[in-house]
Structure 1
Amino acid sequence: MMQGKLPFGERAVGMLKARGPQSLSDLARELMVTVEGARFQMLKLSKEGLVAAKATVTGRGRPQQLWSLTDLGHTRFPDTHAALTVRLMEVMKETLGEQAVAKVIEANGNKGTNRYLGELEGITDLESRISKFVSIRSKEGYMAQYIKEEDGFVLIENHCPICAAAQANREICQAEFKTLQGVFGDSVLITRVEFIIEGGRRCAYKLNDHQSARSRDYN
């Protein structure tokens, strides 16, 4: 379905998820409605508990009102089999022990790495490799994108479809980081700069093509 054919509420929620807090004028411009129309629709979403407005001071002048998703709003985006996954992890820990669970997570991470490597086979240019990886991850529900900077790239995942499981088992995030390093190789320096389960709006990683460098992960 074309983005423009989606109801305003769905488009607005998607925009806030992908871009973070937005002003009414930004929402109106991007979603092609008047500012008054945007205000009316955002108030409707607010009554549903999906969004909230907060006055923010940016430089001189009057505070600017920015709209963002509430916790309920974030639940509009799928967390793949979240409750079941968390329960299974808890049962595994109780019956098999934490080390066994860690081995399962590591094995699953290795399997994922090999799958990505197969899909990226033959793509050696770093930007092309990132672009293809972003496309794959977006299909998996990560709402991924990347930004090219002077000294490298920033890989952004605006949504984590395994967030509930990752919050219950930090080893999953470690495996995800290991997968990134496996996908892009030891010649690429990867630094995590934003982290959802530590309160960030998204997960973001800085990638620098740095020969013989080892990855650094600031957890």
Structure 2
Amino acid sequence: MPAPGRQAEIGNIAVVKSAVTLLGSDDVRTRDRVARALHEHGPQTAAALSMRFGLTPAAVRRHLEALIAAGKVCEVPEPKGRVRHRGRPAKLFALTDLGRSAFPHAYDSLAAAALRYVAQLVGEPGVREFAYRHAAELEGRYATVLAQLDRRERPAALAEALTADGYAASVETVPTGTQICQHHCPIAHVAAEFPQLCEAETQAFARLLDIHVQRLATIAHGDGVCTTHIPAAVQPDGDSRHLPVLTQRPRRTRRRGRRQPTSTQATRPYEKA
């Protein structure tokens, strides 16, 4: 049994730990409230937010800085025509695309409804063509940057470009190659119903990286992260070994629910692999 002095010390440590935990949870709740205010009322100054929540401007700025560091909030210029007071212009803060993605909206439902209509009109090939065009737009923006880089530099550059578009991507090295991990997917709810979007994106990655890649997991299918595997299979002369690419989760067969992998070459939907 600890001595009385030691017991008091242990008790003090427990109190401090509880206070730190409570403070951390309070900080998270306050930042959520700040983000919600920006979502519902648009760009705000730190002074306006401090009045809304009864906090000091310094405390609000601390929460805003944490949200900025997380990529959820950014500074925006004052709208044109707004009445300016004397002194320095006040800083306005607004949600980024990543910050807005945390709140429910009707865009997913609208996009899914539109794709259902396309499927009803022209069938599954129409959905595939739409998915290809959507991925081609992304590919066109990234290609100008990646084309100037060595093949080994492209995964990191692609992850950086994806992060700028709200995918929160990172690169990890594994014994068999490299993996691009997307920790957020802005279209996850739509892609869960229309996996053609994931397939087209994977094919775009293969063309951008100039090597066949393998999609190992997707958020749309319930995984925690979208993982794209880039095999370490590059010849000394720089030519890639053409490997089959798995762009879908294994599909169940009718017989006893067994699964079969689906291999797809990184080609346009209507081209033969």
Residue aligning to 1:93:
119
User: Higher relative CO (CA 8 A, sep ≥ 6), structure 1 or 2?
Assistant: 1
TM-score by length of 1: 0.61
Distance apart, 1:138 and its partner CA: 0.8
Structure 1 vs Structure 2 CA RMSD: 3.2
Gapped runs of 5+ residues in structure 1?
1-32, 46-73
The answer to whether residue 131 in structure 2 is matched with residue 105 in structure 1 is yes
Change (3 A) 1:142 1:120: same
TM-score by length of 2: 0.50
The answer to whether residue 195 in structure 2 is matched with residue 170 in structure 1 is yes
**Count of matched residue pairs:** 158
Distance apart, 1:93 and its partner CA: 1.8
Q: What is the rounded CA distance, in whole Å, between the counterparts of 1:137 and 1:106 in structure 2?
A: 17
Distance apart, 1:96 and its partner CA: 2.9
The answer to whether residue 245 in structure 2 is matched with residue 216 in structure 1 is yes
Other structure's SS at 1:207 match: strand
For residues 133-189 of structure 1, give each alpha carbon's deviation from its aligned partner in whole angstroms, at most 9, with x where no partner exists. 111111111011112334422211001011122112111111111111111113xx5
Q: Do the aligned partners of 1:79 and 1:163 also contact (CA within 8 Å) in 2?
A: no
- Of Structure 1 and Structure 2, which has the larger fraction of its residues in strand? 1
Q: Do the aligned partners of 1:79 and 1:161 also contact (CA within 8 Å) in 2?
A: no
Change (3 A) 1:80 1:214: farther
Residue aligning to 1:123:
149
Change (3 A) 1:79 1:130: farther
Counterpart of 1:145, as a letter, is S
Change (3 A) 1:86 1:150: same
Residue aligning to 1:205:
228
Counterpart of 2:24, as a letter, is A
Counterpart of 2:243, as a letter, is R
Counterpart of 1:214, as a letter, is L
Whichever of the two has the greater Rg, that structure is 2
Residue aligning to 1:37:
23
Change (3 A) 1:171 1:98: same
For residues 1-46 of structure 1, give each alpha carbon's deviation from its aligned partner in whole angstroms, at most 9, with x where no partner exists. xxxxxxxxxxxxxxxxxxxxxxxxxxxxxxxx9334225556889x
